[in-house]
Amino acid sequence: MFRQEADLWFTLNHSNVIKLYGACYEGRQPFFVCERATSMTLTKYLDPKEGRSREKWFRLLQAAHGLQHLHDNNIVHGDLKGDNILICDGGAMKIADFGLSLFATRPPGEETQTVTGRAPWGKVNAGAIKYAVTKERKMPSRPPTFETHEWDLVEHMCCYDPQQRIGIGAVIKILEDIGIRDLIENSSYRTCA
């Protein structure tokens, strides 16, 4: 499994995917040597307390470009969440953790919603959440800060039927549109009358 993951990761070369430089065993312990990233995850970076809410769509767009590269190479990440997207030197968001939790910053079950910084299911047990999502096909409720078009995107991305799920190319286009709209609405720039 370790060798398969290393071989796969070595093939990925994209500005929004953590670069792997090497992989080895030290005794029985597998190690990956990869690009330096801060301890800052996308989830933490976009925490409302950090005051970076205006950057959220741009940062999510960077992550989407990394995901598109994976999909273009027929790779399914399988555990994509804000805590598996790291900020690197220069400020780029990069997808990480291709099977091993090398960069884990939270204990299992403490996932947060990337954009809002709050747990999407409150204080519900992680096992109960997984059951609700996979067996009962439930989603968390819409955060009050989400506009209708923003939540529509989330719902289309989380569609249970893969044939009905929105593709990453369309997600990128929508994120670009949302980012531009957000920039215009929150900008001090005004057109002349």
Helix, strand, coil abundance in the chain, percent, nearest 5: 40, 15, 45
79 belongs to the catalytic site: yes
Using only C-alpha atoms, what is the Rg of the chain? 18
The active-site residue out of 79, 89, 97, 161 is 79
Closest C-alpha among 83, 70, 74, 5 to residue 42? 83
Q: Are 84 and 95 in contact (CB under 8 A)?
A: yes
Token output for 56: 């959220």
- Catalytic residue IDs: 79
